[in-house]
A and B are shown apart, each in its own frame.
Chain A
């Protein structure tokens, strides 16, 4: 049973790991491979700040709330192991700031210690008049992808650096099941008018005194278009750019100014911070995640396709729940093909 995962961002690698660990014990012939043209540190996951936080409004697909919760719980359970830092995982508390009172988010009971900000806390942010404080998680994209790669390599999963031109090419190459985790470029393999790039640009600075995330919201401008400051394990990510339909991979000077000025206004201590790097990434924006099966027919054989893409700006936030769902869909394929079998007992 040859499974090819296309895409080596957080969705591709976590889905590969989830499927391998769930089914390898019961399917000796399971052979999982990852094909991608870009690996860490060149994926969109590498650009993400890594804060676990879903959008403020309820997702159009209620399953996404469940997948977000599953991911948080999964990550929280890893916090207690010495491996947490290796995974790029840490607890972090911080502030969400608004210009006016807003309803509590659906995820308020998923994160820890959710509460409203007190007046003295709001005094720190003169441009804002309302806000939340809660404890959440950081999952640094780059470190996590490295960790996933190490786990997959230990399990004998093979990686192949190549640009997949078509699903047919992969099917004819011998794949029984293809997991499509191609993220923002999924449209190249199969047109999807609902998928668009949500271009983001971020500046990474050295500011080790920053221990909290600060995320601002401006409903008139929209999500990710208002300054945010998210400390990672070593560096702090500054952002606030979201441009639908913009495919430019080049860092833009106007965007740089907008991020820098917005974040320094929010947190004046940043003026003394040294800039370490700046990069651009593309959130795979879609009205909802595409996580479903499709059957392809190339010539005489059927190839099962499982789509898992379109996670917008919340890929790290939702990834494990989606990996579990993709693994469940994979299990359905195995059942249909009557492939699930317990390993033979030894006499």
Chain B
């Protein structure tokens, strides 16, 4: 059988991790990643990359837990290896705190992270406005370091990176046999999906190297995530807002909310603003679709719509996307019955 030619549309976290997984599952294939934006200009580069899952109403909980566990275990072994620095993956401990008792004191992912427990009274004293909290150790996966590392892995297994904006998936026919759509918000156009919409997130990246713990308000709106070269302060959740320019008023508000949780931040310096549009959807779309137009056929695997939970789920969903690609590849191998004249 000829080499299966696979195009991955999108070079963010989903595109690159799927491009890494595909050759491990699909025999004899070539992978080409095509995107208008590459790191450091993708949405994935803005995210802090902390592994705390976001709950998807339309995706079954057991699936979310499976994908989170696969992602966590995969990154955990990288964090404990000599590659950790090159991959930008490391452990971080901290607290998720609530102003009122949460309906779920123990979330579905509690046994995936390390050392999950309720905060003690003494620990809660640090947060006088909050009445309950969870302490645990999780992983942080830094986009601007992890994405280039993934790109290297793609190239090492023979993959190509092509900077090009795709307006229509049919542009990839007949050069490619299978298309993997990891275009995030681009799927509104490329897949005609009106259920995906941006949730605008503005963050600040500041210098505050003395901060060693993450702090996240249970609402998910205010958070402090210490990184290797800066601390991410957030954030916002503005549904349907496509504006990529930072807003000064919002920056002041983010800074003020974070300082309220961590007063030492008043001494933070070198404050930079960034905006990302989360590709939000009621559920992650992981689905095969056979596009048909006249006599043309184009198998597509959709892998997008992770909203706030991209980093937390990426490896699990990339593995599943690669499995779907393999199913498409197998189907290509068995030719459709042809009519005989």
- In angstroms, Cα B91 to Cα A86, docked, is 26
A130 to chain B minimum Cβ distance, whole angstroms, is 15
- B213-229 Cβ-contact flags toward A at 8 Å (1 or 0): 10000000000001011
- In angstroms, Cα B135 to Cα A42, docked, is 39
* A295 in contact (CB, < 8 A): no
* B191 in contact (CB, < 8 A): no
| 186-232 of chain B: CB within 8 A of chain A | 208-213, 226, 228-229
Whether B210 contacts A90 by the Cβ 8 Å rule is yes
Q: Which of A112-120, A162-170, A188-196 contacts B (4 or more CB under 8 A)?
A: A112-120
Whether B267 contacts A135 by the Cβ 8 Å rule is no
- In angstroms, Cα B115 to Cα A113, docked, is 11
Whether A92 contacts B208 by the Cβ 8 Å rule is no
Write out the residue numbers on chain B whose beta carbons fall within 8 Å of the beta carbon of A138. 210
Q: In this complex, what residue of A is CB-closest to B92?
A: A211
Most chain B C-beta atoms within 10 Å of own C-beta, residue among A85, A121, A231? A85
Q: If the complex has contacts A80-B263, A91-B213, A212-B91, are A272 and B119 also in contact, measured as CB distance less than 8 A?
A: no
Q: If the complex has contacts A268-B80, A269-B84, are A91 and B212 also in contact, measured as CB distance less than 8 A?
A: yes
Write out the residue numbers on chain B whose beta carbons fall within 8 Å of the beta carbon of A269. 79, 81-82, 84-85, 90
| 289-341 of chain A: CB within 8 A of chain B | none
- In angstroms, Cα B215 to Cα A79, docked, is 15
Whether B210 contacts A233 by the Cβ 8 Å rule is yes
Write out the residue numbers on chain B whose beta carbons fall within 8 Å of the beta carbon of A124. 80
Q: In this complex, what residue of B is CB-closest to A140?
A: B210
Number of interface residues of A (CB under 8 A): 35
Q: If the complex has contacts A210-B90, A272-B85, are A233 and B209 also in contact, measured as CB distance less than 8 A?
A: yes
A161 to chain B minimum Cβ distance, whole angstroms, is 30
* B155 in contact (CB, < 8 A): no
Write out the residue numbers on chain A whose beta carbons fall within 8 Å of the beta carbon of B336. none
A150 to chain B minimum Cβ distance, whole angstroms, is 15
Q: If the complex has contacts A90-B212, A234-B209, are A82 and B123 also in contact, measured as CB distance less than 8 A?
A: no
Whether A79 contacts B126 by the Cβ 8 Å rule is yes
| 67-84 of chain B: CB within 8 A of chain A | 79-82, 84
B296 to chain A minimum Cβ distance, whole angstroms, is 49
Q: In this complex, what residue of A is CB-closest to B83?
A: A269
A141 to chain B minimum Cβ distance, whole angstroms, is 15
Interface residue from A86, A89, A135 paired with B123 (Cβ < 8 Å): A135
- In angstroms, Cα B117 to Cα A112, docked, is 13
Q: If the complex has contacts A85-B267, A91-B213, A93-B213, are A211 and B91 also in contact, measured as CB distance less than 8 A?
A: yes
A183 to chain B minimum Cβ distance, whole angstroms, is 27
- In angstroms, Cα B142 to Cα A208, docked, is 13
Write out the residue numbers on chain A whose beta carbons fall within 8 Å of the beta carbon of B209. 208, 233-234
Whether B123 contacts A93 by the Cβ 8 Å rule is no
Write out the residue numbers on chain A whose beta carbons fall within 8 Å of the beta carbon of B119. 113
- A210-253 Cβ-contact flags toward B at 8 Å (1 or 0): 11100000000000000000010110000000000000000000
Whether A133 contacts B115 by the Cβ 8 Å rule is yes
* A66 in contact (CB, < 8 A): no
Write out the residue numbers on chain B whose beta carbons fall within 8 Å of the beta carbon of A86. 267
- In angstroms, Cα B86 to Cα A195, docked, is 47
- B12-52 Cβ-contact flags toward A at 8 Å (1 or 0): 00000000000000000000000000000000000000000
* A84 in contact (CB, < 8 A): yes
Interface residue from B86, B114, B213, B267 paired with A121 (Cβ < 8 Å): B114
Whether B212 contacts A112 by the Cβ 8 Å rule is no
Interface residue from B90, B137, B211 paired with A209 (Cβ < 8 Å): B90
* B120 in contact (CB, < 8 A): yes
Whether B126 contacts A84 by the Cβ 8 Å rule is no
* B248 in contact (CB, < 8 A): no
Q: In this complex, what residue of A is CB-closest to B81?
A: A268
Q: If the complex has contacts A85-B267, A112-B120, A269-B84, are A209 and B208 also in contact, measured as CB distance less than 8 A?
A: no
- In angstroms, Cα B101 to Cα A91, docked, is 25
Write out the residue numbers on chain B whose beta carbons fall within 8 Å of the beta carbon of A85. 208, 210, 264, 267
Whether A113 contacts B264 by the Cβ 8 Å rule is no
* A271 in contact (CB, < 8 A): yes
A97 to chain B minimum Cβ distance, whole angstroms, is 14
* A81 in contact (CB, < 8 A): yes
Write out the residue numbers on chain B whose beta carbons fall within 8 Å of the beta carbon of A211. 90-93, 212-213, 226
Whether A113 contacts B208 by the Cβ 8 Å rule is no
A66 to chain B minimum Cβ distance, whole angstroms, is 18
Whether A113 contacts B263 by the Cβ 8 Å rule is no
* B292 in contact (CB, < 8 A): no
A234 to chain B minimum Cβ distance, whole angstroms, is 5
Q: If the complex has contacts A113-B119, A118-B114, A135-B123, are A93 and B266 also in contact, measured as CB distance less than 8 A?
A: no
Q: If the complex has contacts A90-B212, A124-B80, A212-B212, are A112 and B123 also in contact, measured as CB distance less than 8 A?
A: yes
* B122 in contact (CB, < 8 A): yes
Whether B114 contacts A120 by the Cβ 8 Å rule is yes
Name A residues whose Cβ lies closer than 8 Å to a Cβ of B: 79-82, 84-86, 89-93, 112-113, 115, 117-118, 120-121, 124, 133, 135, 138, 208-212, 231, 233-234, 268-269, 271-272
Name B residues whose Cβ lies closer than 8 Å to a Cβ of A: 79-82, 84-86, 88, 90-93, 114-115, 117, 119-120, 122-123, 126, 135, 137, 208-213, 226, 228-229, 263-264, 266-267
Give the 7 A-B residue pairs with the shortest CB-CB distance, closest first.
Answer: A82-B266, A90-B210, A209-B90, A269-B84, A84-B264, A211-B212, A93-B93
